[in-house]
Amino acid sequence: MEKEAHTHIVKYSTYIYVLIALLFMTFLSVAVTGIELGPYTVSAALLLASIKSILVLLIFMHLKFDKKFYGIMVASVFILLACVIIVTFLDYLYR
């Protein structure tokens, strides 16, 4: 009974759609960095990478279908990492 409660079968087609989206964003990021956007190139490439990783986490790694606390833990780790990056750069910018 407790097994039934959290067994979610993801359709094959869902994975195929996610893959297409991921490949599209990969080629988009290659194309975007090909045209010179100056400082925006970095932001664009990292933004696309972030969207890709969210897709991987939610669908491929099943966070969307699993219990909520996994998602909260993952989000906490990323927030921790972001805080460390911000603090490091504040140090370098204002020293």
Asked if 15 touches another protein (CB under 8 A), the answer is yes
Q: Which residue, among 7, 3, 16, 6, has the nearest Cα to 60 in the 3D structure?
A: 16
Q: Which of 28, 72, 79, 85 binds another protein (CB under 8 A)?
A: 85
Q: How far is the CB of 94 from another protein (least distance, A)?
A: 13
Asked if 94 touches another protein (CB under 8 A), the answer is no
Asked if 65 touches another protein (CB under 8 A), the answer is no
Contact 45, 29 (CB under 8 A): yes
Asked if 58 touches another protein (CB under 8 A), the answer is no
- The 10 Å Cβ neighbour count of residue 29 is 19
Asked if 45 touches another protein (CB under 8 A), the answer is yes
Contact 29, 49 (CB under 8 A): yes
Q: Which residues bind another protein (CB under 8 A)?
A: 3, 7, 9-12, 15-16, 18-19, 22-23, 26-27, 29-30, 33, 41-42, 45-46, 48-49, 52-53, 56-57, 59-62, 66-67, 70, 73-74, 77-78, 80-81, 84-85, 88-89, 92
